[in-house]
């Protein structure tokens, strides 16, 4: 499961509702939630955040919390 999938599960988010509100298909949401190689676009992240009533910055930090700058 991806970071987004874990976040949505932790928040008990209804993915069908997110799909209806955002226009993102349920199949795409499923890919974003379960397939690590699927790339989450910024517009998708923003729409999902709006649909679940969280700050887009909070969702961004949660989804990409493991991302770091390369060591010099």
pLDDT of residue 2: 95
Task: Place domain 3-63 in its CATH homologous superfamily.
Answer: lambda repressor-like DNA-binding domains (1.10.260.40)
Q: What confidence score (pLDDT) does residue 72 get?
A: 83
Task: Please write the tens of the pLDDT for every residue from 6-50.
Answer: 999 999 999 999 999 999 999 999 999 999 999 999 999 999 999
| Positive or negative torsion for Cα 11, 16, 17, 21 | positive
Q: What is the pLDDT of residue 9?
A: 95
Provide the angle, in degrees to the nearest 10, between the axes of the packed helices 15-22 and 42-51.
110
CA nearest 1: which of 42, 29, 41? 29
pTM confidence score: 0.92
């Amino acid at each position: 499961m991806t970071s987004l999938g874990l976040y949505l599960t932790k928040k008990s988010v209804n993915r069908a509702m997110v799909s209806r509100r955002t226009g993102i298909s349920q199949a795409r949401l499923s890919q974003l939630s379960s397939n690590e190689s699927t790339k989450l676009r910024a517009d998708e992240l923003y729409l999902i955040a709006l649909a679940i009533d969280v700050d887009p910055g909070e969702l961004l930090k949660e989804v990409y919390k493991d991302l770091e700058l390369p060591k010099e």
